[in-house]
Amino acid sequence: GDDKLMRNAISLLDQSRMAEGITLSRYPTRNAQQIPPFALWWIGMLHDYWKYRPDSNFVREHLAGMRQVLWFFSKYQEPDGSLKGTPYWNFTDWCESPGWKSGVAPIGKNGHSAAMDLQLLWAFQLASALENKLGTQAKSTEFKEAAILLKSSIRKRYFSDGVQLFADTEEKNIFSQHVNELAILTQTATPKETKQIAQNILTNKN
């Protein structure tokens, strides 16, 4: 039940924040490293802590940092909410599947990536929930509306009716477990689609 290590990790990462708004990938460090998706998962860390620990004041203290992370990403969103041109190392996972390079998920010819968009969507959803409970209703509504717009764009850009999976790019010729698991978690996949997608994740060898 001792949560000091969790609080320490959340606080140190928040203290690592760059002027641009994102946290560093690790801190303290003599070699600064920027991995923007890790800043999104820091929001996930904050949400998990709120879910499992009776410590709302601690979480509330970090809402300003959460807003700055999302502000950073907003600068790289297209009008439909999709990300394009996010700087630094956009690592998602070490993966040797086609289209992946140095841990970065596939990026389409137009510069868009389903993995990046879905990670941002997940962060918007979690941030809206935190703001609703601990922050301001205005911010909760702002993040909720951003999530709704982005979710709609993700479906239009990446869902393949033929394969019944979300593709990694708009070309719809590369598919990953990562993208489809995130589509389920964010409820971008409809309840009807979810079971089929989950089955495809396990059985589709491509």
Helices within the chain (DSSP H only): 4-15, 36-52, 56-61, 63-74, 114-134, 137-158, 177-185, 191-203
pTM: 0.97
60, with CB counted inside 10 A (0-12, 13-18, 19+), is: middle
Residues 130, 135: Cα–Cα separation, whole Å:
7
**142-198 residue pLDDT tens:** 999 999 999 999 999 999 999 999 999 999 999 999 999 999 999 999 999 999 999
Residues 128, 90: Cα–Cα separation, whole Å:
23
**102-153 residue pLDDT tens:** 999 999 999 999 999 999 999 999 999 999 999 999 999 999 999 999 999 9
As a whole-number percent, the residues of the chain with pLDDT over 70 amount to 100
